[in-house]
Structure 1
Amino acid sequence: MSEEIIAGRGAEPAGPPTPLPELPEEAARSRASVLRSRAESYIALSRHDAAVADLTEAIALEPDNARAWRMRGESHRLIARYEAALSDFDEALRLEPDSAYALGSRGQAYASLGRYREALEDFEHALTLSPESLWVLEARADALADLGRMDEALDEHAKIIAVNGEIAYSWLARGDLYQRMHLYAEAIDDYTKALDLDPAYVRGWSRRGEAYRMIDRYEEALADLNKAIELDPDHDRALGSRGAVLSELGDNEAALRDLDRAIQLDPGYIWAFRVRGEILQELERHEEAISDFTRALELEFGDA
């Protein structure tokens, strides 16, 4: 299974496995193997609850299989069950202490809980075992950035580009860090390199458009965001950013259409609620503006 699993949030209700008669040892191993294989496909389809159900049964049948613990930990992590993920990764590492995959994934779970120093320990250990694991390097860069250690985070991205500079994503990831640092010219340069490598890279167009927006280069932003939406009409982030750009250019009605669609695609899109609220407020549609600001507060801060 690839070590770079794309995070997803699919949810397939899965109750406890149906009790089975006790199987002979060889049959138990065979069933556990098939369950692990099916779980791998469930994970690829972001059906993580179904994967957890299969892996739980596989672990009951063959409790010393490190891969099953590792995969279940990853499934838990991808649906934000971080404590359960840590428990599974701990067991996987007890069984297989030098698993760079389990160390890197446990580090990602620690980072998601804000436990960055423990995350860095796992990433550093993983990189001693697998120095060119690009996903671990990127996860380490993210943790360093979260700790405010931006120069070190940039060094990690430089390592990724040195190894994998022919892949557009390598440049986009560093561009995202530059944008986080408010270094928009540098971000635009990296996004441009990503687009030179992959002219159909929707996220590259969207992110470069957003960087242009942040430095008030609205016409260039609009051109990039239009291209992103041409390639992917349901790209919620590009629609949200284009809505903000259109508002800056004075077309509030078109802006609202984009923001309506972005929120329809992602009802948890906090920033889109805030921007739409500001536009509605400007149009003196205050009840609707209050509704959007209230929803943004509920989503971000849990306001009742």
Structure 2
Amino acid sequence: MSEGIKDRPELSEAAAQSRASVLRSRAESYIALSRHDAAIADLTESIALAPDNARAWRLRGESHRVVERYEAALEDFDEALKLEPDSAYALGSRGQTYAATGRLEEAMADFEHALTLSPDSLWILEAKADVLVDLDRLDEALGEHAKIISLNEDLAYSWVARGDLYQRMHLYAEAIGDYTKALSVEPEHVRALSRRGEALRMVDRYEDALADLSRALELDPDNDRAYGSRGAVLSELGDDEAALTDLNRAIELDSGYIWAYRVRGEILQELERHEEAVSDFSQALHLEFGD
């Protein structure tokens, strides 16, 4: 851990600047290793030694953001932007922080400013699209996703992100198309397989859905959402016992999985196992509404 500046009164200005630089560099490696508290400690000393370095404020703000110390992050990004008002990175990161705290209009203002400075920044475009979804401006969000994909069609994640939005809008054919594009880029993309399986279920293509969800579970055996979706598919295909096995596993992996309780309750009800069905429906109500 860094020694405090108070322990180094003998440092010359040149030495202080040199030490601050090394601390900033070490902090970046700590950040890459997800050791954010260590990064914050280094950056705090670096800022004490060289308070006019915007990068140090920005990096510390990013570490605060990642560990969800949002007010501290905002203070650091504000300082960084006083020193470098046109830093797209600091604006984008502050926008993400605003979004995380529900300050969506302020997030949008930061993203818009950042994109005037760096219009092809994929991560800022993605963050802006997410905020547009939160604002229920879904058509605009689709426009942002189209920009993202046009910048690089070889990123599976970008196709999946738009597919997820199509699915949210109940545009299942479009969602399936995007997940298929993602899988052409990355055939073992678990989320693309799982989400395409869910979209296929929604259009009653149960055998295709089963194939996708089973493959997703081969690749990620602890994927609770894939178990839940496959359980629903198996029920539609008439295999209630296999469906219950999957739903049991989904709930074992995530005891707060409301939808799985509801689906399991419906299967149990059809099997006339009403006490168990009542228990599942009651748990679903408790988790969603606090009953």
* TM-score interval for Structure 1 and Structure 2 normalised by the shorter chain: 0.7 to 0.9
Q: Deviations over 1:250-287 (max 9, x none)?
A: 44443444344445545555544554555566643257
Query: Are the aligned partners of 1:273 and 1:295 in contact in 2 as well (CA < 8 Å)?
Result: no
| Deviation larger for 247-256 or 163-172 | 247-256
Identify unmatched segments of 5+ residues in structure 2: none
- Matched to 2:157, the amino acid is Y
Offset of 1:27 from its aligned partner?
Answer: 4.1
Offset of 1:183 from its aligned partner?
Answer: 0.7
Query: Are the aligned partners of 1:277 and 1:292 in contact in 2 as well (CA < 8 Å)?
Result: no
Residue 287 of structure 2 corresponds to: 296
Residue 84 of structure 2 corresponds to: 96
Alignment identity in percent? 72
Offset of 1:86 from its aligned partner?
Answer: 1.7
After superposition, the CA RMSD in angstroms is 2.9
Quick one: structure 1 residues 192 and 42, their matched pair in 2 at CA, closer, same or farther if it must change by over 3 Å?
same
| Deviation larger for 280-289 or 42-51 | 280-289
- Matched to 2:82, the amino acid is R
Residue 58 of structure 1 corresponds to: 46
Offset of 1:152 from its aligned partner?
Answer: 1.6
Question: Using the alignment, how far apart are the partners of 1:245 and 1:279 within structure 2?
Answer: 12
SS in 1 for 2:34: coil
Question: Using the alignment, how far apart are the partners of 2:146 and 2:125 within structure 1?
Answer: 10
Query: Are the aligned partners of 2:81 and 2:90 in contact in 1 as well (CA < 8 Å)?
Result: yes
Residue 55 of structure 2 corresponds to: 67
Quick one: structure 1 residues 86 and 246, their matched pair in 2 at CA, closer, same or farther if it must change by over 3 Å?
farther
Q: How does 1:248-259 map to 2 (within 5 A)?
A: 248-259=236-247
- The structure with the largest helix share of the pair is 2
SS in 2 for 1:194: helix
Equivalent residues, number: 285
1:22 paired to 2:4? no
Offset of 1:104 from its aligned partner?
Answer: 0.8
Question: Using the alignment, how far apart are the partners of 2:16 and 2:25 within structure 1?
Answer: 14
Q: How does 1:7-46 map to 2 (within 5 A)?
A: 19=4, 21-23=7-9, 24=11, 25-46=13-34
Question: Using the alignment, how far apart are the partners of 1:44 and 1:156 within structure 2?
Answer: 28
Residue 170 of structure 1 corresponds to: 158
Structure number with larger C-alpha Rg: 2
1:158 paired to 2:146? yes
Residue 3 of structure 1 corresponds to: none
Question: Using the alignment, how far apart are the partners of 1:274 and 1:69 within structure 2?
Answer: 47
- Matched to 1:42, the amino acid is Y
- Matched to 2:144, the amino acid is E
- Matched to 1:232, the amino acid is D
Query: Are the aligned partners of 1:276 and 1:292 in contact in 2 as well (CA < 8 Å)?
Result: no
Question: Using the alignment, how far apart are the partners of 2:217 and 2:196 within structure 1?
Answer: 13
- Matched to 2:185, the amino acid is L
Q: Deviations over 1:64-96 (max 9, x none)?
A: 222222122222222333222222211111121
Quick one: structure 1 residues 276 and 62, their matched pair in 2 at CA, closer, same or farther if it must change by over 3 Å?
farther
Q: TM-score, normalised by structure 2?
A: 0.84
1:125 paired to 2:113? yes
- Matched to 1:55, the amino acid is L
